Structure 1
Amino acid sequence: MFFLLSSLAACGRWAVLMAGSSDWYNYRHQADIATLYDLLINRSFPPEHIITVAYDDEPYLAENPYRGKLFHNTDHHNFYHGSSKIDYAGAKVTVDALYNIISGEHKEHGKVLESTEEDDVFIYYDNHGADGALGVPEGAPKFILFDDLGDSFKTMYNKKMYKRLLFMVEAYESGNLPKYLPIPNAVVITAAKHDENSWAAIPDAELDNMLSDEFTFAAIDLINKSDYTIDEFYQNLVKGTTHSTPQIGGGGYPALKDTHISAWFGEYTKKPEESVSKPRPKVAEAIPQREVLRHYLKKRTDLSAMKQLHELDANTQKTIKKFEDIAYLLNINNLQKVQNPTDDHYKCFFDSMRAFSKKYGTVHPDDMGLTRKLLDMCAVRPKEMVIKAIEAI
């Protein structure tokens, strides 16, 4: 009877879990999502109400000594439930897939949210990012832009697809995202300010890799400890995330600040002292997300690593050169970082990013910070000029 009641209660909840990266040294993103999936399942969350988006390469890469497993902590407990639990994998991990999932559209392409105005919806995104954009697997044709993402959530609101929405984002420079979700009853929590790094954490000597991200590890730790209110959850996240400053906002904050997190994660069944103790990420053990790949390649002495590092640096220089060429065509000799970008600057940036992606695709995830140069150009030149310069190089 208890199981039946728990299942019925959970039917009013939906979740979307997305790891937007691929390749070995982004292991932590898919490990984070696997751990969140496991957390929800263990709280009687119906699996048919969970939509998972992950490239799904990490468990099977040659570099992984534990084939078919994903760890989130150095105790090497496996949180991976298998490829059958991944709804969008490989080339299906795209911007459009995420937009379709959120807006409940194009069901012919895959599983989408079928939530109603009586359902609480939890969405978690975990990857690289930049001010105004979220990353996608390397080689994908375009980025997730904050304005487009906001439009998808507006569609979700207009279609009455949620009662209360919690959107959490683990990404670099994601702090401006909350203002793009002004819709009612929506709370957004990001890992960092708009000009801050987010940090990888939990190094594993055997895997020679990072198993999680500081913000996400702290969030999961808190969810497992107590049924906090949103405000308590956020305040503890700030305390537990020592390298960056989590941000909170959205059209549902502060109105939902006293809502307990079990509204999205399911009922809390353990006493705090019964929760599994995990070693906290230490200050010296965290690495800025964009530096993880180079950090581990520099530690290695094999020829393959040195070659990969050389190619990575060469690719970064090519990307820098593209932005320098755009600035040259705009007659900008000394591009300065704009201190307080306006809404118009961001509108120009979004359109410029679309033009850039249309011509060049996406940049390497570790180089996403370079896209900031387009925002700086938008602060000193009209949008039409910036786009023409992009199209001309």
Structure 2
Amino acid sequence: MRVFNLPAALLALLAGPLLATAVHTSNWAVLVSTSRFWFNYRHLANTLSLYRTVKRLGIPDNQIILMLPDDMACNPRNTFTGSVFNDKSRLLDLYDDKGALENLGMGGIEVDYRGNEVTVENFIRLLTDRWPSSHPHSKRLMTGPQSNILIYMTGHGGNEFLKFQDSEEISSFDLADAFAQMYEKKRYHEMLFMIDTCQANTMYNAFYSPGVLATGSSAKDQSSYSHHADQDVGVAVIDRWTYFYLEFLETYLNSTASDVRLGELFDYQTFERVHSDAGVRYDLLDGGELAARNKRVLDFFGNVQGVEIEDGVKNTQLDWKKDLEALQKLAARVEGEQEDVGAGVDPTIATTAKTDTVHQSKVTFDMAQASDSFFKKIAGAASLAVLGGAWMASSALTKQSPVK
């Protein structure tokens, strides 16, 4: 085995990936319920259901912003104290997320904005990152130009507006302008906007920022319907549009390796299932409808871990290439001296003769003890030097190219 071929192998292996620059390195989710009061139980269940799904598909809690205006689990009317369900079978507690997922370590929820914190102002500040310096980073949307963002909203709405807690409204123009600020500040790569409310499709008519894909549960003058009620809970527990989104995601996306496309997901929302005309707007996305429908569902609903390569890395790349090439020459020299000794050549003469061919290298080797064990030590030291150089190069790249 020729251990001194290692530098060349490392050079070929490491140089390739650095030639490409990643454009999508992370996924974030903003999940918003805008309704309070017990009879809006289903809106909380809608939001927690999406929360559970994106978490199951790998998006970590520190990349999910959860906004819940009311705590249905602790409502005095709740027969099942401390629990929230999205199905009358009550097999899955969305609030604690135990049962079938207990072995996956996904129990519990992390609410970022609760109660009176769920306001139009806070929602727009969240999107545009216009916070005072004292605002916790854990409650910020820390996205950049390589981030895909899933925004899901549910509640009561009408023609181009959505109510927040029955006390204020956000309009489609407010959302459009917030997204425009996000685009100008390079806060996203692509965005999927989802909304489940009456006349939901009117909420994305005003959008004009590139890279936004939008879908809603109902057309203008149409209602968004609940799916079913739980007689013991006493109210509807989930909306139809969200229910069939969840049914598709739970059925066809069983792992983070699934290759299901967005077109299949959108086509699943038929009038027979939803009882309204679910809509999708494709034109703002680069490539239009064909490109949007061919994107993977996991590009928005799952976890993505890529590496961002910044412009300044090219010079660093050349530097560590030179280092590895020097190590390769050094290893070749040691190997050549070992062959000379084996052939009976005086190692001192061999070393002197080879000095000029290695550009007057300052490194000298004492070849007086030309035993097998000595050369094994030399080979081991050279191997360690090669690996050390590769490790140092990798560390330098990591510092300049953070994972996002």
Same fold per superposition (TM over 0.5): yes
Aligned to 2:122: 97
- Do structure 1's residue 44 and structure 2's residue 66 form an aligned pair? no
Tell me how far apart the structure 2 counterparts of residues 151 and 241 of structure 1 sit (CA, whole Å).
33
8 Å Cα contact 1:127/1:171 also seen in 2: yes
Provide the TM-score with structure 1 as the length reference: 0.62
Alignment of 1:201-216 (within 5 A): 201-216=227-242
Which residue, 295, 303, 306 being the options, matches 1:259?
A: 295
Cα distance in 2 for residues equivalent to 1:158 and 1:105: 14
| Change beyond 3 A, Cα 1:242–1:33 | closer
**1:222 partnered with 2:254:** no
- The answer to whether structure 1 residue 78 and structure 2 residue 89 are counterparts is no
Distance change (3 Å), C-alpha of 1:146 and 1:109? farther
Q: Secondary structure at the match of 2:237?
A: strand
Q: 2:200 is matched with which residue?
A: 174
1:198 corresponding residue in structure 2:
224
After TM superposition, list the pairs within 5 Å mapping 1:312-327 onto structure 2. none
**Alignment partner of 1:242 is 2:274:** yes
Give the alignment partner of residue 160 of structure 2, picking from 132, 144, 147.
Answer: 132
What's the counterpart of residue 306 of structure 1? none
Contact residue 43 and residue 266 of structure 1 kept, 8 A: yes
Residues 142-161 of structure 1 correspond to what in structure 2 (within 5 A)? 142-161=168-187
Deviations 1:60-109 (A, max 9, x none): 11110111111011121101149961111111110011111111221545
Other structure's SS at 1:15 match = strand
- TM superposition shift of 1:200: 1.1
What per-residue deviation string (whole Å, max 9, x for no partner) do you get for residues 4-38 of structure 1? Answer: xxxxxx97110000000011110001111111111
Equivalent pair of 1:218/1:240 in contact (CA under 8 Å): no
Residues 170 and 198 in structure 1, CA contact (< 8 A), matched pair in contact too: yes
Aligned residue runs from structure 1 range 1-393, under 5 A: 12-76=26-90, 77-81=92-96, 85-106=110-131, 108-109=134-135, 111-138=139-166, 140=167, 142-226=168-252, 227-239=259-271, 241-249=273-281, 251-252=284-285, 253-254=288-289, 255-266=291-302
Query: Secondary structure of 2:292's partner?
Result: coil
Q: Which residue of 2 aligns with 1:371?
A: none
> Which runs of 5 or more residues in structure 1 are unaligned?
1-9, 269-393
User: In 1, distance between residues paired with 2:25 and 2:51?
Assistant: 16
Q: Which amino acid is the alignment partner of residue 86 of structure 1?
A: V
Indicate conservation of the 8 Å contact 1:125/1:168, yes or no: yes
Q: Alpha carbons of 1:221 and 1:52: their partners in 2 closer, same or farther (altered >3 Å)?
A: same
Distance 1:29 1:134 in 2: 13
| Higher RCO, Cα 8 Å, sep 6+ | 2
**Could you say what the CA RMSD is over the residues aligned between the two structures, in angstroms?**
2.2
Aligned mates of 1:112, 1:198 — CA distance in 2? 30
3-state secondary structure, aligned to 1:221: helix
Q: Which amino acid aligns with 2:156?
A: H
CA distance in 1 between partners of 2:87 and 2:272 (Å)? 16
Alignment-mate amino acid for residue 230 of structure 1? L
Q: Distance in 2 between matches of 1:25 and 1:15?
A: 26
The answer as to whether partners of 1:215 and 1:240 remain within 8 angstroms in 2 is no
Indicate if the aligned counterparts of 1:178 and 1:248 stay in contact, CA closer than 8 A.
no
- Farther off after superposition, 104-113 or 142-151: 104-113
Q: CA deviation at 1:177?
A: 2.3
Q: C-alpha distance in 2, partners of 1:11/1:41?
A: 17
* Contact preservation (8 Å) 2:201, 2:220: yes
Whether the 8 Å CA contact 2:37–2:70 is kept in 1: the answer is: no
Alignment correspondent of 2:358? none
Given the two structures, how large is their TM-score scaled by the length of structure 2?
0.60
Gapped runs of 5+ residues in structure 2? 1-23, 97-106, 253-258, 305-404
| Structure 1 residue matching 2:146: 3-state secondary structure | coil
- Rg bigger for which structure? 2
Percent identity between the two aligned chains? 25
**1:242 to 1:41, Cα distance in 2 relative to 1, 3 A:** closer
Q: Distance in 2 between matches of 1:228 and 1:135?
A: 33
Counterparts of 1:221 and 1:267, CA distance in 2: 20
Deviations 1:105-157 (A, max 9, x none): 2154561211111111101001010001001113x3x2111111110011111
| Structure-2 change in CA distance of 1:182 and 1:228 (3 Å) | farther
Contact 2:225 2:274 in 1 (8 A): no
Is residue 28–residue 148 contact of structure 2 (8 Å, CA) maintained in 1?
yes
- The CA distance in 2 between the partners of 1:101 and 1:84, in whole Å, is 20
